[in-house]
Amino acid sequence: MVRLRNCFVIFSFFSFAIFLIPNLNAQVSQKSALPGLPQTASLVGNTSALAQEAQGWLVDLVKINTTNPPGNEQAAAKYVAGVLAKEGINAELIDLAPGRSAVVARLRSTAVADPSKALLLVAHMDVVGVERTRWSVDPFAGVIKDGYLWGRGSIDDKSMVAANLAAFIALKRGAVHLNRDVIFLGTADEEQFGDASLRMIIAKYWDKIAAGYALNEGGQVMVRNGKVEYVGVQASEKVSVNVNLSATGKGGHSSTPTKDNPVVHLAAAVEKIGNYTASVHLTSIVRRYFEALAPLEDEETSKWMRVIDTPDRGEHALRVLSDQNPMWNSMMRDTVAPTVFQAGFRANVIPTDAHAVINVRLVPGDTIDLLVNDLKKLVNDPMIKFDIQPEGGFAAPNSSLETDFYALITKVTAQEFGGVPVIPFMSTGATDSAQLRLHNVQAYGLRPMPLNEADLMRVHGDDERLPLAAFAKGVDCMTRIVAEFSSNH
Ligand SMILES: [Zn+2]
């Protein structure tokens, strides 16, 4: 996942509610999935039975241990293909490595596909590992208690796999007359970004997933004090690059130290780099983010957010905001974080070398070479060598906030969550969307399950759990967005 909020337009959907999912309209009365949220008129009718089914798929997926490494996503891919087969949808497994497969399926609008119009629903099937002893439940048992599904991947990202499946299957069941192809894709190896990841599918099998639009993880429906506060749609992301630092000296006996101890040189360099603050670079998305977030914040914070672009108070405002919130700080500028420091092997020996790793997160558009030049000047020590690691992230353009799809996401999520603001943002963490954006896909990050900060903190941590009411709400939201964007009406 990694990891990291318009106007309210009322449309009449009654004519579609009838044909789209006729077998769901007669289901039990829908209760509001999150207290206090009104249900809105829907293109797809009542989705509560569908959400119940999707919950079953999600539980099954959590039980399939896809801890990466090794991944073993093929088992999950086969399960997904089985669910689709029951609906009469042919899914294809894309084998990427032994035991590691992605799964792709397509609902066609026309005999000849128009990739520029197609909608790609993408979610990853692998999960990060667990520290089993720190969990209060078996992380791979699909335990349901206290209104939550507990388990690794229950949020990241199997909730999206199951919600995407639900939205995709709803189109098929409703025999929806599609205006574009809709592609379902379950990926492998997202968490390690390795040779079985989306990168490989793009390189080798692009025609199977080519699309003009995509929905992926990366967004959030933020709950504060029990209420949905805003919907964040990820339209951009920072770029991760590692820089290795090394220092080399003569080494020797620690009883007769000299000035060229690499531990001392490297420690001094890391200390300077750790305190480095890059200059502010506000992208258009980040400007939109602060502008839209300002009305939701307390008076003081809101005041500073409104003046970030003014010549007299902007600089001070940015300083206040970056001091207040590490994520805001990271959205404004390149960041550098020393993450690894290795030196020495014996207490009485000065080693000949010492190594450190600096993880850099660039604002898209900034270059690593310029940043490293700045760091070299700052360190000002010829003993320190900087080595930029090649397998960095992808610097991609923003997804546009002017597309029909973005407008639709905004409209539907605002309706779904009681008219809250929908705010575009740049995530500080990386997702697969950057690679899609580099292939001209308007990719948006949206996880439509309302979650609070405490829920989100469990992602990649202990006792990850998904509120089941939030999942039902997410299935409803996802199904509406997909149905409305891809149906002729
Ligand atoms: Zn994820």
Residue range 411-424: average pLDDT? 96
SS3 content of the chain, % helix, strand, coil (to 5): 35, 25, 40
2 CA from centroid of ligand 1 (Å): 5
Mean pLDDT of the chain, nearest integer = 91
What's the confidence (pLDDT) of residue 1?
A: 53
Q: How does residue 329 score in pLDDT terms, banded at 50, 70 and 90?
A: very high
Q: Which of 247, 271, 270 is closest to 259 using CA atoms?
A: 247
417 CA from centroid of ligand 1 (Å): 23
162 CA from centroid of ligand 1 (Å): 13
140 CA from centroid of ligand 1 (Å): 17
**Span of 113-117, 125-129, 328-332 with lowest mean pLDDT:** 113-117
Q: At 443, which helix (H) or strand (E)?
A: strand 442-445
Instruction: Give the model confidence (pLDDT) of 133-176 as tens digits.
Output: 999 999 999 999 999 999 999 999 999 999 999 999 999 999 89
Contact 115, 210 (CB under 8 A): yes
Q: Which residues pair with residue 97 across a beta bridge?
A: 100
**Span of 14-23, 75-84, 329-338, 432-441 with lowest mean pLDDT:** 14-23
Angle 372-377-382 from CA coordinates, rounded to 5°: 95
What's the confidence (pLDDT) of residue 489?
A: 63
Instruction: Give the model confidence (pLDDT) of 445-454 as tens digits.
Output: 999 999 999 9
429 CA from centroid of ligand 1 (Å): 10
Residue range 337-342: average pLDDT? 97
191 CA from centroid of ligand 1 (Å): 7
**Span of 17-31, 95-109, 179-193 with lowest mean pLDDT:** 17-31
330 CA from centroid of ligand 1 (Å): 20
* Position 37 pLDDT exceeds 50: no
What's the confidence (pLDDT) of residue 2?
A: 44
What's the confidence (pLDDT) of residue 392?
A: 83
Q: Which residue has the higher pLDDT, 347 or 6?
A: 347
* Position 109 pLDDT exceeds 50: yes
3 CA from centroid of ligand 1 (Å): 7
Q: Give φ, ψ of 10 to 5 degrees.
A: -100, 125
110 CA from centroid of ligand 1 (Å): 32
How far apart (Å, rounded) are the C-alpha atoms in residues 368 and 238? 12
Q: Give φ, ψ of 243 to 5 degrees.
A: -125, 120
Distances (CA, A) of 195 to 161, 200, 239: 21, 6, 19
288 CA from centroid of ligand 1 (Å): 25
Q: Which of 131, 130, 156, 162 is closest to 61 using CA atoms?
A: 162
Q: Which of 139, 17, 33 is closest to 416 using CA atoms?
A: 33
123 CA from centroid of ligand 1 (Å): 8
Say how far residue 293 (Cα) sits from the centre of its chain: 20
20 CA from centroid of ligand 1 (Å): 31
Question: What's the burial of 231, exposed, middle or buried (CB within 10 Å: 0-12/13-18/19+)?
Answer: buried
149 CA from centroid of ligand 1 (Å): 17
What's the confidence (pLDDT) of residue 120?
A: 98
124 CA from centroid of ligand 1 (Å): 7
65 CA from centroid of ligand 1 (Å): 15
Instruction: Give the model confidence (pLDDT) of 200-249 as tens digits.
Output: 999 999 999 999 999 999 999 999 999 999 999 999 999 999 999 999 99
